[in-house]
Amino acid sequence: DAEITQSPRHKITETGRQVTLACHQTWNHNNMFWYRQDLGHGLRLIHYSYGVQDTNKGEVSDGYSVSRSNTEDLPLTLESAASSQTSVYFCASSESWAGELFFGEGSRLTVL
């Protein structure tokens, strides 16, 4: 069955370190998204991509970057982790840009 997987599921890091969260989907979806979820804020869009070599900033993109070198993967990089980036991160993909999102199981990141 097609799926979307995130790794690692849990990570603890220190302030200032670079962190990369992986997202891999096997649906062959062109559209992929990264969200963060925090209490009181719901789901907020960090970055998104409509296809290979395409990346776009979402509403909370500062301190994050993504790259899309193939259809299956959209890794999220925190260049210099900050405590404010402690959160649960969800990757999602969709077949159409306006269609339903399929979410991964999430990556819980703690920045000390």
Partner 1 sequence: GQQVMQIPQYQHVQEGEDFTTYCNSSTTLSNIQWYKQRPGGHPVFLIQLVKSGEVKKQKRLTFQFGEAKKNSSLHITATQTTDVGTYFCAGLDSGGSNYKLTFGKGTLLTVNP
How many Cβ atoms sit within 10 Å of the Cβ of residue 99? Answer: 10
Q: Least CB distance from residue 37 to partner 1, whole Å?
A: 9
Choose the binding region for partner 1 from 7-15, 16-24, 60-68, 95-103 (rule: CB under 8 A). 95-103
Cα–Cα distance measured from residue 42 to residue 70, given in angstroms and rounded to the nearest whole number: 29
- The number of angstroms, rounded, from the C-alpha of 31 to the middle of its chain's C-alpha atoms is 12
Cα 42 from Cα 75, distance rounded (Å): 22
Interface with partner 1, residue 107, by CB under 8 A: no
Q: Closest separation between CB of residue 52 and partner 1, Å?
A: 17
Q: Give me the least distance between CB of 15 and partner 1, in Å please.
A: 27
Positive/negative CA dihedral, 101, 69, 50, 46: positive
Residues 4-63 that bind partner 1 (CB under 8 A): 35, 40-45, 48, 50, 56, 59
Q: Which residues bind partner 1 (CB under 8 A)?
A: 35, 40-45, 48, 50, 56, 59, 90, 97-106
